[in-house]
Amino acid sequence: MSTLLDRFLRYVNVETTADENSDTYPSTPSQLDLCRMLKDELTQIGAAEVQMTDKGIVTATIPATIDGKLPVIAWFAHVDTSPEFTAHGVSPQIHKNYDGRDIVLPKVPERVIRVSETPELAKLVGKTIITTDGSTLLGADDKCGVATIMTAAEHLLKNPNLKHGRIRICFTCDEEIGHGVDHVDLKQLGADVGYTLDSESEGIIDTETFSADQAIVTVHGVNTHPAEGKNRMVNAIRILSDFISRMPWQWMSPETTDKRDGFLHPYVLEGGVAKASVKVLLRDFDSGELPKKAALLESIAAALRAEHPKCRIDVDIKRQYRNMADGLKKEPRAISKAQDAMRALGIEPKMNIVRGGTDGSRLTEKGLPTPNLSTGMHNFHSPLEWACLEQMETAVKVLVQLAQEWGKA
């Protein structure tokens, strides 16, 4: 599987950091460089219907090797990397036959991947670990996914004796800034079930995500010169501060919750005397709890309106995404086939819940049931990011087996 490592190194070499302040799509033109590279490679390995849209969405087909009406499966990965850390000049360090010790990143030696903080490393002695030099992130999220799909596709195209239905491949842009599926045309894709290759480690199937809304709370005050403020000024900053202090934080906050508990999370604050606003994330695994969280914000606003009759307070709720589990119920085979594929390889699958969203949450909501699978990445969005080559190889084998599991459908 040396081609898997070569591929991965080729892809991490292309800087594809997403930019949330951009108003183009994709948000950075360099993402298109990787999309073009993938389009060319898909053509070279003999994929059919290779296409790239002006938005950078790359699609291709691995034709069916058996006749009959079988479900069409789609594999997704995103080409962009997180804006949380630079990916300029990624210099991958390959630790062959890993010795089980802490890994000091050579360019920034105070950055150390410690076994005590990363217990999974202890189980990977003798494997090949790929890290950064400490000065960038690696981009394993999600170039592990891209390399996994490309390698599985090449394997299936070279081995038409393996029995499977039609498989669609889809590479997306700007996942890290929440726009991964904005320009995916599900009709053009024509799949019945999807898999994002965008989860960490090995043997994990992400089957649930948060349901998510965003609130923007805006206080409109009245500004005057402070010398003439008596009985006239209404300070939006003061009222908004009061609003935030009345939100629960001893519970129902990211700082105090884990596992299946949701939260309210104020995360952007801006404004002045005349107008001030805060953005708040509403998160819960139970979609039915989101309106209750919104009602709590509204009740705080109502109390403050009564105390400050001259101010206006708006609470605007925007729908973001819904728990993937809601939509996966309509195609339970999406999960069971992935479990079958892992068990066929001797891996006991671990079902996982994600305290966030994935492209799969949005695809599932749009009608394409799409759980998320492991690809061998770890510590993503950080200069301590790393990948394990053998776990990536497992991800390739899982995809090849998954294709055949659906071929039995």
Residue number with CB closer to Zn ion (131 or 199)? 199
Report the residue number, 141 or 393, with the smaller CB distance to Zn ion: 141
Min CB(88)–Zn ion separation in Å:
19
Instruction: Tell me the sheet residues that pair with 234.
Output: 222
Label each residue of 235-256 as H, E or C: CHHHHHHHHHHHCCCCCCCCCC
Q: Specify the residue, 142 or 385, whose C-beta has the smaller distance to Zn ion.
A: 142
- The yes-or-no answer on residue 80 being catalytic is yes
Catalytic residue among 142, 174, 175, 284: 175
Q: 365 with 322: CB under 8 angstroms? A: yes
Residue 381 · residue 85 · CB < 8 Å: yes
Beta bridge partners of 313: 219
Minimum distance from CB of 58 to Zn ion (Å)? 16
Q: Which is nearer to Zn ion, 149 or 217 (CB)?
A: 149
Interface residues toward Zn ion, by CB under 5 A: 141-142, 198
26-53 in b/e form (b: 16+ CB < 10 A) is bbbeebbebbebbbebbeebebeebebe
Respond yes or no: is residue 133 known to be catalytic: no
Task: Identify the active-site residue in 41, 80, 192, 198.
Answer: 80
The least distance separating Zn ion from the CB of residue 380, rounded to whole angstroms, comes to 7
Is beta strand 204-209 parallel, antiparallel or unpaired with respect to 350-354? parallel
CB of 198 to Zn ion, least distance (A): 4
Q: What is the DSSP letter of 150?
A: H
Tell me how far, at minimum, the Cβ of 32 lies from Zn ion, in Å. Answer: 18
355, with CB counted inside 10 A (0-12, 13-18, 19+), is middle
Cα dist from 206 to 49, 198, 226, 339, whole Å: 29, 9, 55, 11
Which is nearer to Zn ion, 233 or 396 (by Cβ)? 396
List residues with catalytic annotation. Answer: 80, 175
